[in-house]
Structure 1
Amino acid sequence: MPPLRLRLLIASLLTVAILGALDHTIVSTSLATVAGELGALGHMGWIVVGYTLASTILLPILGKVGDAVGPRSVFLVSLVLFLIASLACGFAQDMTQLVAARVVQGMSSAGLHLMPQTIVARVTTPRQRPRYLAVIGAAFPIAILVGPVIGGLITDYWSWSWIFWINIPFGAAALILALVAVPKLPGFGRRPFDVAGSLTFATAMVALVLAVTWIGDPATARSSVIPFIVAAVAFAGFFVIQLRVAEPLIPLRLFANRTIAAGTALSAIIGVGLFSITAYLPTYFQMAYRTSATVSGLVPIATVFGMLVSNLATGWLVSRTGHYRVYCIVGPALGAAGLFTMSLLPVGLPLWVPMAVMAVVGIGTGAFMSLVIAVVQSAAPRRDTGSMTAAVNLVRQVGATVATAIIGGVVGVGVAALLPSSLDPAALTPQLVHAASTAVQSEVAAIYRDVFAPVFAALGVAYTVGLIAAILLPPGRLSDESEQTPAPSAEPLTA
């Protein structure tokens, strides 16, 4: 594409990516207010679960559809549906209506997240790809940094409906820009759709989300066994179907390529190793370091800021040189070192110490966060670009969902087991601890440190697994050629 047209396209894709990412983080600040006004606090979690589940299920389906009919059509339809669903969310009169609208919003957000990456792969050379994917990938850390603040301001000074309606003017502008900027990219022809694979995958994901949601609640923990079994059987059936059908939802045959297999594993590590712990960092520092809610937010901010800077820097460097493997190795190594250090830090240190350590984890993660998508895309056949892009994002999202639930369960059970009988785990809040005596504060701080230390260490192990996967990446350079051609498995990305 001409440079000016390409810049306009990237601006359009970045606008939509930020819109989709912000929708998730803005809503998180307002959950309690929304659920309270609708009289359904007990079902508050489904505002997020319905959105996330729908998005996860649609990722591989939309990836396959995008390959067949072209990513532009899927992208524009997803954007229009997203705006309609945002309007419906704001007008919801009860929790059922809101969750239903959020499900549609989640389905469309899968297209907003996936199609920009697929479009970039179709209009750029492998060498150009890391830089532009890094720019689009910046939407997620930006949304984490500013989304909660925007959501809080809208809820406090306007109405919770506007956390959804704010999407309309920005989305309409993004739609006009997209209609002009996104080129018509032909698909690779209509192919038999994997209906059986889609149904088994949807069943598996619904069962898995129910299982990890129930297991964290003592009242439903035993019942979680049934959905876990259903999920295991459905996933087994899904993989059998993918190996046998002519046009699988996720082409498992491509994982015989070491580059694709290692890159996908690295993507999963990001979800398991960092995205899962970010939500618990503020609570940890409020309890263990006795900080206020505002101050505790500085640690995840430092983490995400490190991720943002590193993501953009490595994307630019790889596009300049074509060498990618070193960043995929150094990134997990930094992440593992930072998380192992967090597991050893005593409480009571100045807050800048854990902030610096978690910033290192963010820098390490950002080094390969968007890069692995470009690497996998460049190793995959062009007709499967959308499917493999969806697979890389899918393992990251599923890893984050499962690991987040596991960490929540470990922290809840661990803290409850160690707390003295004078403190009720169900009513334990940072405000209550901060108002208690110094001895109680010290005891609670030590308990949280003892519970979180093995969690940080386990996540460090996950990054170590990612380091091994990165070492197994074949050496090579990203090509300057505009068309991908089959390459030897030893150096699948060499021009």
Structure 2
Amino acid sequence: MSLSPFRLRLLVVSLLTVSFIGALDHTVVSTSLATIAGELGGLRLMSWVVVGYTLASTVLLPVLGKLGDVLGPRRVFLSSLVVFILSSLACGFAPTIEWLILARVVQGMSSAGLQLMSQTIIARVTTPRERPRYMAIIGAAFPFAILIGPVLGGAITDYWGWSWVFWINIPVGAAALVLAFIGVPYLECSPGRRSFDVAGATTFTIGLVSLVLAATWVAERSAGTETVVALAVAILGFVLFFYIERQSPEPIVPLRLFANRMITASTALSAIIGVGLFSITAYLPTYFQMSYRTNATVSGLVPMATVFGMLISNLFTGWLASRTGRYRVFPILGTSLGAAGLLGMALLPVGLPIWVPMLVMGIVGIGTGSFMSLIVAVVQSAAPQSQIGTVTATINLVRQVGSTLATAIIGGVIGFGVAVLLPAEVDAASLTPHFVQGAAPSLQTNIAQIYSDVFRPIFIALGITYALGIIAAVLLPPGRLSDEPESSRQTTPETLSA
């Protein structure tokens, strides 16, 4: 569908606004969690305010992607925005932690619809050549939200109260809803009667929820019978899911699409971003507080440098890919930079000035940003028009699942490794940056070396993950993105270049 330049700009502003508030809601809550838990008396369940949101937004991705293909992305997008506004209102009025968790689950479900349909709508109204530039603009909402979310959340909590962390979405969301009604066009669904794969959606949801629960319990070192049961249910759920998908005429994850090398390689690259970078960023501040003996503010500079590099390269490569039509060079260069940066982190000696790891992780961010949004645009160009929502959901899904599972594994490795290596006189349960800063110099040096020794193999493993990404990037078929609208040409699994 072709739009006038003004209508397209209005659409991009609308989608960017909605994507930003959806991404911001994931990051802005982090600094208010302690206050929320204290006022609602829910310290024991505090982590589920975040886990419930993340889990709901992940599980619903393939379901929403399929609904976008069956019902049309405009309907799913507007419905998700309305639900997001109402659930934000409910979060702010939560009288108990259980109420808040339930409202956050609904909010996470609607946020997934906003992020996913924004990408799907852009794919439906642009040519493959235009798509990387607009996808990069929409994709910039996530790193920008990471940069300002924690600071904004802290300021709102301190001056207005934690309820406004959620209520701030209401006026912004209402304005975005008006823009969306005007800017988002009616996009036709595929002709003919379409069915929805209820059995596939059910088994996938059961399998993924069980898998994430098992990984979360293992990371919290509370593994027991319930963890074994959850893992068994996850395995059974996924076995049934793959069997159902092979039989279903309208699967929520069409396995036959993975016969296309473009889709398979792009999906692998998306998973590598989740496993190789998104999983480690949450632990970087702790690493630098313990190994480099910095305060909390200074330790946050390294992930900020990473995200800033990601933001800049995401916008630049999106513009460059649209201008030249070339796409393959960016994932190859990006995964190479990511691998070099993470392996470099493993080699850095403890005690260097903080700007050195900032520079190294900034390089990792630049490498990741160079293909983070681009591969979404590329994989959409390789899929049939009738399955753009589905394939967009799949590539986002593997990134989020990879990040969730790798985050849990890394957390478990750090907790176990530090506890084993600590001197007998130090209690691992009471080990905090404040304790380390007040300890004797010899003990500070010992703990710094312990954290360095624990994190070194983690950085090496993540560097190897990015190195495997180089192979996936090389396997991308060469060619140029087409200038033709996809509705005017036949799209098959192997047609991408014009």
TM range (shorter): over 0.9
Distance 1:225 1:71 in 2: 39
SS at match of 1:262: helix
Query: What's the counterpart of residue 121 of structure 1?
Result: 123
Distance 2:68 2:220 in 1: 39
Alignment pair present for 1:472 and 2:443: no
Distance 1:434 1:203 in 2: 45
Distance 2:240 2:412 in 1: 28
Query: What's the counterpart of residue 309 of structure 2?
Result: 306
Query: What's the counterpart of residue 57 of structure 1?
Result: 59
Alignment of 1:187-266 (within 5 A): 187-189=189-191, 190-221=193-224, 223-266=226-269
Alignment pair present for 1:493 and 2:496: yes
Give the C-alpha shift of residue 219 in structure 1.
Answer: 3.4
Alignment of 1:281-300 (within 5 A): 281-300=284-303
Alignment of 1:67-466 (within 5 A): 67-189=69-191, 190-221=193-224, 223-466=226-469
Percent of pairs with identical residues: 67
Moved over 2 A (4+): 217-223, 484-489
Which digits, 9 at most, give the CA deviation of each residue in 1:367-400, with x for residues without a partner? 0000000010000000000000000000000000
Q: Is the 8 A contact 2:385 2:491 kept in 1?
A: no
Give the C-alpha shift of residue 239 in structure 1.
Answer: 1.1
Give the C-alpha shift of residue 166 in structure 1.
Answer: 0.6
Amino acid across the alignment from 2:264:
A
Q: Is the 8 A contact 1:487 1:494 kept in 2?
A: no
SS at match of 1:32: helix
Give the C-alpha shift of residue 157 in structure 1.
Answer: 1.2
Q: Is the 8 A contact 2:57 2:111 kept in 1?
A: yes
Q: Measured at CA, do residues 428 and 196 of structure 1 come closer, stay the same or move farther in structure 2, by a change above 3 Å?
A: same
Q: Is the 8 A contact 1:68 1:187 kept in 2?
A: yes
Give the C-alpha shift of residue 460 in structure 1.
Answer: 0.6
Distance 2:222 2:128 in 1: 51
Distance 1:237 1:492 in 2: 32
Give the C-alpha shift of residue 57 in structure 1.
Answer: 1.2
Give the C-alpha shift of residue 421 in structure 1.
Answer: 0.9
Moved more, 218-227 or 409-418: 218-227
Amino acid across the alignment from 2:441:
T
SS at match of 1:98: helix
Give the C-alpha shift of residue 8 in structure 1.
Answer: 0.8
Distance 1:84 1:223 in 2: 34
SS at match of 2:234: helix
Amino acid across the alignment from 2:299:
S
Distance 2:294 2:240 in 1: 48
Give the C-alpha shift of residue 218 in structure 1.
Answer: 3.0
Amino acid across the alignment from 1:96:
E
Unaligned stretches of 5+ residues in structure 1: none
Q: Is the 8 A contact 2:25 2:166 kept in 1?
A: yes
Q: Is the 8 A contact 2:133 2:322 kept in 1?
A: yes
Give the C-alpha shift of residue 340 in structure 1.
Answer: 0.5
Q: Is the 8 A contact 1:476 1:492 kept in 2?
A: no
Distance 1:233 1:486 in 2: 38
Distance 2:425 2:490 in 1: 67
Distance 2:348 2:446 in 1: 16
Q: RMSD of the TM alignment (CA)? A: 1.1
* TM-score normalised per structure 2: 0.98
Q: Is the 8 A contact 1:259 1:492 kept in 2?
A: no
Q: Is the 8 A contact 1:329 1:467 kept in 2?
A: yes
Of 16, 25, 28, 2:27 maps to 25
Q: Is the 8 A contact 2:19 2:118 kept in 1?
A: yes
Which digits, 9 at most, give the CA deviation of each residue in 1:414-457, with x for residues without a partner? 00000001111111000110111111110000000000000001
Give the C-alpha shift of residue 222 in structure 1.
Answer: 5.7
* TM-score normalised per structure 1: 0.98
SS at match of 2:81: helix
Query: What's the counterpart of residue 16 of structure 2?
Result: 14
Distance 1:450 1:224 in 2: 29
Distance 1:424 1:221 in 2: 23
Q: Is the 8 A contact 2:340 2:463 kept in 1?
A: yes
SS at match of 2:249: coil
Give the C-alpha shift of residue 221 in structure 1.
Answer: 4.9
Q: Measured at CA, do residues 222 and 457 of structure 1 come closer, stay the same or move farther in structure 2, by a change above 3 Å?
A: farther
**Aligned pairs, how many?**
494
Q: Is the 8 A contact 1:127 1:322 kept in 2?
A: yes
Give the C-alpha shift of residue 486 in structure 1.
Answer: 4.2
Give the C-alpha shift of residue 151 in structure 1.
Answer: 0.3
Distance 1:486 1:173 in 2: 38
Distance 2:83 2:299 in 1: 37
Q: Is the 8 A contact 2:383 2:491 kept in 1?
A: no
SS at match of 1:280: helix
Distance 1:117 1:268 in 2: 18
Give the C-alpha shift of residue 64 in structure 1.
Answer: 0.5
Query: What's the counterpart of residue 66 of structure 1?
Result: 68
Q: Is the 8 A contact 2:382 2:492 kept in 1?
A: no
Which digits, 9 at most, give the CA deviation of each residue in 1:179-220, with x for residues without a partner? 111111111154111111011011011101110111023333
Q: Measured at CA, do residues 221 and 273 of structure 1 come closer, stay the same or move farther in structure 2, by a change above 3 Å?
A: farther
Distance 1:217 1:69 in 2: 40
Alignment pair present for 1:483 and 2:486: yes
Query: What's the counterpart of residue 37 of structure 2?
Result: 35
Distance 2:372 2:490 in 1: 25
Q: Is the 8 A contact 1:124 1:482 kept in 2?
A: yes
Give the C-alpha shift of residue 223 in structure 1.
Answer: 3.8
Q: Is the 8 A contact 2:384 2:492 kept in 1?
A: no
Give the C-alpha shift of residue 4 in structure 1.
Answer: 1.2
Give the C-alpha shift of residue 458 in structure 1.
Answer: 0.5
Q: Is the 8 A contact 2:312 2:366 kept in 1?
A: yes
Q: Measured at CA, do residues 342 and 222 of structure 1 come closer, stay the same or move farther in structure 2, by a change above 3 Å?
A: farther
Distance 1:246 1:329 in 2: 36
